[in-house]
């Protein structure tokens, strides 16, 4: 019997996960097929119920269902419980377990971005959606002391501060209004900037003007296609150390594979498949290739490279 793994989201057609996971199954000799299920919210419960069938190893869950899927599984892991979001479902017999591998995926990517430097203690996070939830929980549990959230709709940032109230009781977690002067003042005081908004998916658009970026900042943009967002281009030109979202995608994908199969993920195969997908412009955007180290980092002359 061929096993099945599915990606549940809306839309899903442009995801990189299908190619990456199918290549991993094939390389590991696992008889499994990765399917893309485009499901609206009204069909979500039925889609999740279907996963209880014996042929399913599990699923990935993506926008806009990561939060809606929480009450539909039988048990949550700690990261899924804390974030209130599930991006991976695995099976234990008939039971469905909800995980959040975006949290360890982001942490692994952050470690690479920081490289041999000391892990910073201050950060600015742009965005308050599903990705920001995982980023914030990672920073809280990583020992950050001050994290400021900027979001277009301030009340969503404030809701996240309340959500993490207890886990963040040891630190200063706050949301601030998205005004350039406030952003500039916070960026001057911080060491790490994470873009967890979807601004940057369209080439040329950026969440913050280039002139607000101080030099020597660590900048992670969760957007991975285009691989060099305008934010990363501007940050690299300002002599910041930059990384796109591909490492996080790869790391969360490798952890998903391990949860479904119980085997170590063939990470080089998955990276090669991501490179191939990027080269072929799987999502149909013009691609400006980053360096071949897999970070997709934009590097002008003299820009320090994130450790690979």
Identify the residue among 83, 90, 151, 295 touching ligand NDP (CB under 6 A).
151
DSSP string, the chain: --EEEEEEESS-TT-SHHHHHHHHHHHTT--EEEEEEE--GGGHHHHHHHTTSTTEEEEEE-TT-TTTTGGGSSEE-HHHHHHT--SEEEEETTEEEEE-THHHHHHHHHHHHHTTSPPPSEEEEE--SHHHHHHHHHHHHTT-SEEEEE-SSHHHHHHHHHHTTTTTTTSEEEEE---HHHHHHHHHH-SEEEE-SSTTSSTT--SS-GGG--TT-EEEES--SSSS-HHHHHHHHTT-EEE-THHHHHHHHHHHHHHHHSS---HHHHHHHHHHHHHTTTTSS------TTTT-----TTPPPPP-
- Name the minimum Å distance from CB 228 to ligand NDP: 14
Taking residue 296's Cβ as centre, other Cβ atoms within 10 Å add up to 28
The reply on whether position 162 binds ligand NDP by CB under 6 A is no
Which lies closer to ligand NDP via its Cβ, residue 160 or residue 217? 160
Which lies closer to ligand NDP via its Cβ, residue 13 or residue 49? 13
Whether residue 196 contacts residue 222, with contact meaning beta carbons closer than 8 Å, is answered with yes
Identify the residue among 197, 261, 295, 303 touching ligand NDP (CB under 6 A).
197
Name the burial class of residue 92, with classes exposed (0-12), middle (13-18) and buried (19+) by CB atoms within 10 angstroms of its CB.
exposed
Which lies closer to ligand NDP via its Cβ, residue 96 or residue 223? 223
The reply on whether position 176 binds ligand NDP by CB under 6 A is no
The reply on whether position 139 binds ligand NDP by CB under 6 A is no
Structure tokens at 86: 């599930």
Which lies closer to ligand NDP via its Cβ, residue 152 or residue 189? 152
Structure tokens at 205: 């658009």
The reply on whether position 260 binds ligand NDP by CB under 6 A is no
Identify the residue among 27, 28, 30, 201 touching ligand NDP (CB under 6 A).
201
Q: Please state the φ and ψ torsions of residue 163, each to the nearest 5 degrees.
A: -55, -40
Identify the residue among 153, 179, 263, 276 touching ligand NDP (CB under 6 A).
153
Within 85-104, the residues that bind ligand NDP by CB under 6 A are 102
- Nearest residue relative to ligand NDP (C-beta): 129
- Name the minimum Å distance from CB 208 to ligand NDP: 10
The reply on whether position 257 binds ligand NDP by CB under 6 A is no
189 is catalytic: no
The reply on whether position 16 binds ligand NDP by CB under 6 A is no
- Name the minimum Å distance from CB 170 to ligand NDP: 25
- Name the minimum Å distance from CB 102 to ligand NDP: 5
Within 44-63, the residues that bind ligand NDP by CB under 6 A are 63
Identify the residue among 156, 163, 174, 239 touching ligand NDP (CB under 6 A).
156
Identify the residue among 44, 131, 220, 235 touching ligand NDP (CB under 6 A).
131
Q: Which residues bind ligand NDP (CB under 6 A)?
A: 63, 102, 127-132, 151-153, 156, 196-199, 201, 207, 222-224, 245, 248-249, 252
Catalytic residues: 66
């Amino acid at each position: 019997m061929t096993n099945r793994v599915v990606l549940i989201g809306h839309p899903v057609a442009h995801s990189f996960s299908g190619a990456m996971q199918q290549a991993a199954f094939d390389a590991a000799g696992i008889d499994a097929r990765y399917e893309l299920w485009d499901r609206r919210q009204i069909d979500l419960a039925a889609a999740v119920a279907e996963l209880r069938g014996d042929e399913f190893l599990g699923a990935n869950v993506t926008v806009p269902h990561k939060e809606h899927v929480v009450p539909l599984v039988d048990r949550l892991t700690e990261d899924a419980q804390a974030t209130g979001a599930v991006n991976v479902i695995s099976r234990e017999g008939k039971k469905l377990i909800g995980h959040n591998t975006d949290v360890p995926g982001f942490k692994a990517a952050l470690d690479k971005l920081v490289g041999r430097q000391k892990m910073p203690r201050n950060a600015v996070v742009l965005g308050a959606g599903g990705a920001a939830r995982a980023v914030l929980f990672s920073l809280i549990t990583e020992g950050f002391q001050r994290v400021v959230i900027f979001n277009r709709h301030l009340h969503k940032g404030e809701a996240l501060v309340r959500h993490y109230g207890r886990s963040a009781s040891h630190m200063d977690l706050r949301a601030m209004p998205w005004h350039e002067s406030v952003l500039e003042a916070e960026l001057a005081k911080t060491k790490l900037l994470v873009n967890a908004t979807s601004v940057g998916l369209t080439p040329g658009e950026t969440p913050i003007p280039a002139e607000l970026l101080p030099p020597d900042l660590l900048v992670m943009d969760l957007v991975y296609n285009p691989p060099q967002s305008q934010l990363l281009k501007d940050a690299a030109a300002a002599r910041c150390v930059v990384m796109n979202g591909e490492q996080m995608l790869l790391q969360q994908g490798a952890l998903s594979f391990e949860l479904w199969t119980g085997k170590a993920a063939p990470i080089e195969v998955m990276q090669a498949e991501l490179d191939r997908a990027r080269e072929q412009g799987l999502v149909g955007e013009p691609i400006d290739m980053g360096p071949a180290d897999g970070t997709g980092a934009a590097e002008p002359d003299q820009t320090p490279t994130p450790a690979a």
